[in-house]
Copies of this chain bind each other. A is one copy, B any other.
């Protein structure tokens, strides 16, 4: 099989791309707030929309994005869908990020 394309700094292109995509996903104010809401406790879409002050449609779009990046997970209950964190990497990332912005 072909060698992965390597940049001179030791990060292959695929990894750099994946990594940046992950951070880009968290790099949106609405999604940060959606994640913070979901982080506090399992939430259904409507409640998230109200909490972050976005339309349900916009939130739904964001949630799909977050799902695709495996940051949140959906649990269907009747006609409602409850979202929770998929793992706790996000919590750790938030903590580090906060350390930096609150004067790092």
Q: Evaluate contact between B20 and A29: CB separation under 8 angstroms.
A: yes
Given that A89-B104, A93-B97, A104-B89 are contacting pairs, would A33 and B51 also be in contact in the complex, using a CB cutoff of 8 Å? no
Q: Evaluate contact between A23 and B96: CB separation under 8 angstroms.
A: no
Q: Which residues of A pack against B, CB within 8 Å?
A: 7-11, 13, 15-29, 31-33, 36-37, 39-40, 50-53, 70, 86-87, 89, 92-94, 96-102, 104
Docked CA distance A100–B88 (Å): 10
Q: Evaluate contact between A101 and B18: CB separation under 8 angstroms.
A: yes
Query: Which of B15, B26, B53, B70 meets A23, CB within 8 Å?
Result: B26
Residues of B with C-beta under 8 A to A20: 26-29, 31-32
Q: Evaluate contact between A27 and B25: CB separation under 8 angstroms.
A: yes
15 A-B residue pairings within 8 Å (CB atoms): A7-B37, A8-B52, A9-B39, A9-B40, A11-B36, A15-B98, A15-B101, A15-B102, A16-B29, A18-B101, A20-B27, A23-B24, A24-B28, A86-B104, A93-B97
